[in-house]
Amino acid sequence: MKQMLKVKDIQHICNISRSEAYKLVNSGEFPIVRIGRAIRIPRLKFEEWLQKKQEMVS
């Protein structure tokens, strides 16, 4: 399992458009890592954020 996700991974996990994925990644709701122009998202932090969001809905 990958430790770092790409924006494309976030797009598929959340079933959102590419532009919405970039808005979400740049929203500051979870940490990101920039490597040059590339954006990576720590899987564990994203999964924690997603779990909290799902609990809020339930």
Domain map (residue ranges) of the chain? 4-57
Q: Is the pLDDT of residue 32 over 90?
A: yes
SS3 content of the chain, % helix, strand, coil (to 5): 55, 20, 30
As a whole number of angstroms, the distance between CA 37 and CA 14 comes to 22
Inter-residue contact 50 to 57 (CB < 8 Å): no
The mean pLDDT of the chain is 96
> Looking at the whole model, is its pTM more than 0.85?
yes
| Exposure string for 2-25, b = 16+ CB within 10 A, e = fewer | eebbebebbbeeeeeeeeebeebb
| 1 — pLDDT class (breaks 50, 70, 90) | confident
